[in-house]
């Protein structure tokens, strides 16, 4: 088991191997969170690399008294995803590209997720999560996928504790409505994880 606090301390003291170990240890988890929020593999890879690079280059800004390293890293990741999501909404298509494609404007929706989802049940849950509003999606992914406490979620999303709790409950309620047929086949909180 990796001791993240010890690695952070060693990196603050200049041990580059500690920085590499932090990057390697948290890379998949940060990518997973970014992918869950953005739904696009290439964007998630860019955000994950950006978030990890920022965290490691700005390690002196990390304050262990305010949050754990994982929480701080997730704050950075969520922020980068929000920026990316805002830019994506206003992305246009250049006229020559549009004309060369026969006026076929690409769908800005999520890309194929089938290679990450092994069962149809999980695929249905994933689609339902992707259709949640960004606020609810962030909350439910931070709670059930990333395993954060409500207090950590409130810190990551920069909202009051009760708001974080409410968002998770609302997201779960929305998922239950959409997934009622799946629920009858054994859907529960464990499927969301």
Residues 82 and 121 in one domain: no
Domain span at residue 119 reads 113-193
Positive or negative, the Cα torsion across 175, 145, 60, 55?
negative
Residue 97 included in any domain: no
- Total domains, the chain: 2
In a domain, 157, yes or no: yes
Residue range 6-39, pLDDT digits in tens: 999 999 999 999 999 999 999 999 999 999 888 8
> How far apart are alpha carbons 42 and 111 in whole angstroms?
10
Distance CA 103, CA 12 (A): 53
**48, 74, 89 — which closes off a domain?**
89
Check whether residue 84 and residue 132 sit in a common domain.
Answer: no
Cβ-based neighbours of 71, under 8 Å, separated by 6 or more: 148, 152, 155, 156
pLDDT tens per residue across span 49-73: 999 999 999 999 999 998 899 999 9
Mean pLDDT of 75-98: 72
CA-nearest of 110, 58, 49, 40 to 77 is 49
d(CA 142, CA 71): 10
Residues 128 and 172 both lie in one domain: yes
């Amino acid at each position: 088991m990796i001791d993240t606090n010890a690695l952070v301390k060693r990196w603050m003291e200049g041990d580059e191997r500690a920085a590499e170990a932090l990057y390697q240890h948290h890379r998949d988890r940060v990518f997973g969170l970014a992918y869950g929020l953005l739904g696009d593999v290439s964007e998630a890879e860019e955000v994950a690399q950006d978030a990890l690079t920022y965290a490691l280059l700005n390690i002196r800004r990390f304050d262990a008294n305010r949050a754990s390293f994982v929480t701080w890293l997730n704050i950075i990741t969520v922020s980068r995803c929000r920026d990316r999501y805002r830019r994506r909404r206003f992305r246009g298509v250049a006229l020559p590209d549009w004309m060369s494609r026969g006026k076929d404007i690409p769908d800005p929706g999520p890309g194929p997720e089938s290679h990450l989802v092994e069962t149809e049940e999980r695929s249905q849950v994933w689609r339902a999560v992707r259709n949640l509003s960004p606020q609810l999606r962030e909350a439910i992914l931070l709670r059930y996928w990333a395993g954060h406490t409500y207090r950590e979620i409130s810190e990551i999303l920069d909202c009051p504790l009760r708001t974080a709790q409410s968002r998770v409950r609302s997201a779960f309620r929305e998922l239950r409505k959409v997934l009622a047929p799946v629920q009858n086949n054994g859907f529960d909180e464990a499927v969301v994880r």
